[in-house]
């Protein structure tokens, strides 16, 4: 739906390894920062949506996580809705909040994404990601991906490293091999995504990794699963990001100077489709939000998308209509998606460098785009940015993503 609401305030913690900090501590920092930014207080909130994925596994906190993390800073007595929707959890929370504000149910709503994935017991972390697929078909899925890789590449046995890893790595490796075979995409082009995002991340004080890498350094890094090296994959992380969503009436009361308008926010799910005959779910979702908003790919100035792996970013270039199918590798290699290029992508550093505390990722993408549209992104500022898009997806069922969230914002 086309929304009638605005983002009045943003807040975010540094992303990284925060073993000594609690979910409450991270949540409080982000929420209080967003309230200060909006010049509002806890008592102004009409409702809150809280996105999280791993707390039930990592800490055992289930059922009332949002109520728990918000109570100590005086947020209670209002609807608090807990949202779990894979990597799209806080993007889903944002979509739900925007819908309710646009429909007139609330004038002020909080959106919070918060996550702690680092744990002393690493098996807990792996089990969070293991639940992002149909667990009844998990073994079948892994066997299917292994056979598919063997069919696509001749050097699997020589290069595969037998270490614990998320099963999503197997999925990304298959996507990469398939794209390389069908379109001639090179490992250097995959590495170009990581190198580009490392440049952007080096300019972001909240990013988990701030060192810059060259294409050669990415290619020579530790191999995870051919053709992917470690920097081609997003890390786990801890952190929180928050946004204050307000109605048009409230925005006028507060003053519109620093407001970011929500043009459209769409939530969809993957579906069974034939790769030969049907449009991919992500491309279908992108086409839909372009139609709803009246804003197309040529109108966008900056994009944050779900680069869970280098091939993910290349595929989303194509799904979003930034280039023709099969030309994503060429697009990143051209420099068009780098700061200073025609359409900068993942100016925050993306998931690969900013970090990927799953439940906080969607909200963090929106925080970055608000910084860009407000002109406060510092050294990574996109000149004259007026229109932005966020794409956030998660989980895997059948042959594609399970949950998808798309948002278009304007200055």
For residue 187, pLDDT beyond 60: yes
Stretch (H or E) spanning 410: strand 400-410
> Nearest 5°: CA angle at 362, between 409 and 400?
105
Q: Which spans in 259-401 are helix H?
A: 281-293, 310-319, 328-334, 350-354, 358-374
For residue 158, pLDDT beyond 80: no
Q: What is the pLDDT of residue 287?
A: 96
* Poorest-pLDDT segment among 20-34, 99-113, 391-405: 391-405
How many whole angstroms from its chain centre is CA 138?
24
CA distance 382 to 344: 7
Integer CA distances (angstroms), 203 to 214, 305, 353, 404, in order = 15, 18, 11, 28
Contact assessment for residue 254 and residue 39, using Cβ atoms and an 8 Å cutoff: yes
Domains (range + CATH), the chain: 2-121+237-261 (3.40.47.10), 132-236+264-410 (3.40.47.10)
Q: What is the pLDDT of residue 153?
A: 67
Q: What is the pLDDT of residue 140?
A: 76
Q: What is the DSSP string of 95-163?
A: HHHHHHHHTTS-SEEEEEEEEE---SSHHHHHHHHHTTB-GGGHHHHHHHHHHHHHHH-S-HHHH---S
For residue 10, pLDDT beyond 60: yes
The average confidence (pLDDT) of the chain is 93
Contact assessment for residue 202 and residue 210, using Cβ atoms and an 8 Å cutoff: yes
**How far is the first Cα of the chain from the last one, in angstroms, to the nearest whole number?**
19
Q: What is the pLDDT of residue 258?
A: 87
Question: pLDDT grade, residue 257 (50/70/90)?
Answer: confident
Query: What's the mean pLDDT in 103-108?
Result: 97
Exposure string of 152-174, with b = 16+ CB inside 10 Å and e = fewer, is bbeebeeeeeeeeebbbbbbbbb
CA distance 248 to 410: 14
Among 115-129, 243-257, 267-281, the range with the most confident prediction by mean pLDDT is: 243-257
Q: What is the pLDDT of residue 101?
A: 98
Residue 338 Rama label (left phi>0; alpha psi -120 to 50; beta): beta
Question: pLDDT grade, residue 163 (50/70/90)?
Answer: low
For residue 166, pLDDT beyond 80: no
Token pair listed for 75: 């947020």
Question: pLDDT grade, residue 160 (50/70/90)?
Answer: very low
Q: Which of 87, 233, 323, 370 is catalytic?
A: 87
Query: What's the mean pLDDT in 170-187?
Result: 95
Q: Which spans in 131-266 are helix H?
A: 138-152, 156-159, 167-183, 187-201, 215-220, 248-254
pLDDT digits (tens, 9 = 90+) for 263-318: 999 999 988 876 665 788 899 999 999 999 999 999 999 999 999 999 999 999 99
Helix 167-183 / helix 310-319 crossing angle, nearest 10 deg: 60
pLDDT digits (tens, 9 = 90+) for 366-378: 999 999 999 999 9
Q: What is the pLDDT of residue 337?
A: 98
Active site residue 371: no
Percent with pLDDT over 70 in the chain: 95
* Poorest-pLDDT segment among 125-134, 189-198, 322-331: 125-134
Query: What's the mean pLDDT in 178-186?
Result: 96
């Amino acid at each position: 739906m086309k929304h009638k609401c605005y983002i009045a305030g943003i807040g975010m913690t540094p992303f990284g390894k925060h073993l000594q900090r609690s979910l409450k501590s991270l949540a409080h920092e982000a929420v209080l920062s967003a309230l200060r930014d909006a010049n509002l207080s806890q008592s102004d909130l009409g409702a809150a949506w809280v996105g999280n994925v791993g707390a039930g596994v990592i800490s055992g906190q289930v059922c009332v996580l949002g109520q728990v993390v918000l109570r100590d800073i005086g947020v209670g007595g209002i609807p608090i809705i807990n949202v779990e929707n894979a990597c799209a959890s806080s993007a889903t929370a944002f979509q739900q909040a925007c819908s309710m504000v646009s429909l007139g149910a609330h004038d002020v709503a909080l959106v919070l994404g918060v996550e702690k994935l680092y744990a002393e017991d690493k098996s807990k972390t792996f089990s969070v990601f293991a639940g992002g697929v149909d667990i009844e078909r998990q073994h079948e899925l892994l066997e299917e991906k292994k056979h598919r890789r063997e069919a696509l590449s001749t050097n699997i046995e020589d290069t595969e490293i037998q270490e614990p890893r998320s099963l999503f790595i197997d999925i990304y490796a298959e996507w990469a091999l398939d794209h390389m075979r069908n379109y001639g995409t090179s490992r250097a082009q995959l590495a170009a995504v990581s190198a580009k995002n490392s440049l952007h991340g080096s300019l972001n004080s909240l990013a988990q990794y701030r060192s810059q890498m060259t294409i050669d350094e990415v290619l020579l890094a530790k191999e995870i699963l051919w053709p992917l090296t470690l920097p081609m994959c997003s890390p786990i992380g801890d952190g929180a990001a928050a946004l204050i969503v307000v109605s048009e009436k409230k925005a006028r009361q507060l003053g519109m100077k620093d407001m970011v308008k929500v043009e459209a926010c769409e939530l969809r799910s993957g579906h069974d489709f034939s790769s030969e005959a049907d449009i991919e779910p992500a491309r279908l979702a992108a086409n839909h939000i372009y139609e709803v908003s009246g804003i197309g790919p040529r109108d966008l100035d900056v994009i944050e998308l779900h680069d869970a792996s280098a091939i993910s970013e290349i595929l989303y270039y194509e799904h979003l209509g930034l280039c023709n199918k099969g030309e994503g590798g060429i697009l990143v290699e051209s420099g068009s998606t780098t700061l200073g290029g025609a359409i900068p992508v993942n100016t925050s550093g993306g998931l690969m460098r900013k970090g990927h505390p799953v439940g906080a990722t969607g909200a963090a993408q929106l925080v970055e785009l608000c910084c860009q549209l407000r002109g406060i992104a510092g050294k990574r500022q996109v000149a004259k940015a007026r229109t932005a898009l966020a794409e956030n997806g998660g989980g895997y069922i059948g042959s594609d993503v399970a949950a998808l969230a798309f948002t278009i914002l304007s200055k």
